[in-house]
Amino acid sequence: MAIHLLDTDIIIDVLNGKRGRPSLLRGLVADGHLLACCSISITEVYAGLRPGEEQKTLNFLHSLKFYAVDFAVAQLAGALKCDYSRKGKSLNIADSTIAAVALHHDLMLITGNKKDFPMKELRLYHEPPVTEGQK
């Protein structure tokens, strides 16, 4: 069993029933894995929430294990952003923080935006290809 941290794009796709992501997550849960989110993803999801989506969103987010951004995670996120800036790679604060949560807690990150997470030490979930019926 592993704990999989969901990037914001995955959460949004699940809520909207897109890209086969709901079935991907159902399969992971059926295999005994846990799904998680962090405060940054909740903030990003609620920033784009449309009227009428509140209860469905709340129910889904409450079904996930929650990881807060504490001092150690925030410090790591800042260090990641700084280190990659020095290497000429600009990371945004949200992605740096999500990566820091995954690294600090040794979680597998599920994202559709792998280019936003260049950290070699970060464990990224390798999604099966999306079939035509899943789009």
Calpha distance 28→49 (Å, rounded): 26
Count of structural domains, the chain: 1
- Judge whether 133 lies within some domain: no
Written as one letter, the residue type at 35 is L
Residue 7 lies in a domain: yes
Q: What is the pLDDT of residues 36-63, one digit of tens each?
A: 999 999 999 999 999 999 999 999 999 9
pTM value > 0.85: yes
**Would residue 51 count as lying in a domain?**
yes
The domain in which residue 97 lies consists of 3-124
Q: What is the pLDDT of residue 126?
A: 84
CA distances from 29 to 1, 26, 47, 113, 130 (A): 9, 5, 27, 22, 19
94 CB neighbour count, 10 Å cutoff: 17
83 falls within a domain? yes
